[in-house]
Amino acid sequence: MFAATPLTGNKPDQYAQLAEQARGLLHGERDRVANAANLSALIYHSLPDLNWVGFYFYDGIELVVGPFQGLPACVRIPLGKGVCGAAAATRLTQRVIDVDAFPGHIACDAASRAELVVPLEDAQGRLVGVLDLDSPSVGRFDAEDQAGLEDLARIFQESLG
């Protein structure tokens, strides 16, 4: 059974604790769906003020929704479209303060106001997909959140071997 330990200290400390929990949770398992499901659940239940956390995987043509927590979401996102498609196309994390000001933002859940999307690449630099977090609060994600989530995305990628 997984026992969630409350995160303490400042934000970098909290992300260090979350990273430790993620390493423990994914340890010894290389299945992509299993690890994406457990990591999205861990993040969703550990961090405050989120309404969607999950994965989109690249199928060679576009992004297809994978394991997530939150309301049902758009299934397919073309590269370059929306925040997720921008992260996948540029291979750069997209940290959006206010999604209403992001041209082409795809509104899956009308409650979403801020978004953080981290691209996922394999060891050869090939696009794997993205890790997407949505919040109902404008400006929810700062640079420390971005660093913490990029670390968690790395842990996920490394767990796949």
Residues that bind ligand SME (CB under 6 A): 52, 73-74, 77, 82-85, 105-106, 108, 112, 115, 132, 134
* Least distance in angstroms from the C-beta of 92 to ligand SME: 14
How many angstroms separate the Cα of 112 from the Cα of each of 6, 22, 53, 58, 117? 25, 25, 11, 23, 13
CB of 20 to ligand SME, least distance (A): 27
Closer to ligand SME by Cβ: residue 134 or 145: 134
Measured CA to CA, the distance from residue 24 to residue 64 in angstroms comes to 27
CB closer to ligand SME out of 38 and 112: 112
> 17 vs 69, which CB is nearer to ligand SME?
69
Strands 94-96 and 76-78: unpaired
Task: Report the 10 Å Cβ neighbour count for 105.
Answer: 18
